[in-house]
Amino acid sequence: MLIVLPLVFYAVFRRSEQSVGDWLGRGFDADAPMLALLDSGRFSDSPTGRDLATMKRKFRGPVVADAL
């Protein structure tokens, strides 16, 4: 138990650390183009911006906020 249990904990920790790193990396890669659109001031011309404008016209504010 003194030998096996620390090895198991180490393996689980390493796997978890890699998974979180991969997840965060993918999240940033997906958000980077959106941030660039926001910085450029052309967000309203993008498909996402047009979808949000349509939702804003059709629904009340709290509903749109929940959808986001």
pLDDT in tens, 18-52: 999 888 877 777 788 888 888 998 888 888 889 88
CA distances from 47 to 11, 19, 30, 34, 42 (A): 43, 31, 15, 11, 11
> Per the structure, how many domains does the chain have?
1
Is 56 contained in some domain? yes
Q: pLDDT at position 5, please?
A: 94
Choose between 43 and 10: higher pLDDT: 10
Q: What domain range includes position 59?
A: 44-68
Q: Which residues fall within 8 angstroms of residue 43, CB to CB, at 6 or more apart?
A: 37, 49
Contact criterion met (CB below 8 Å) for 16 and 24:
no
pTM of the model: 0.47
| pLDDT confidence band for 17 (50 / 70 / 90) | very high
Is 18 contained in some domain? no
Is 55 contained in some domain? yes
User: Has residue 58 got a pLDDT over 70?
Assistant: yes
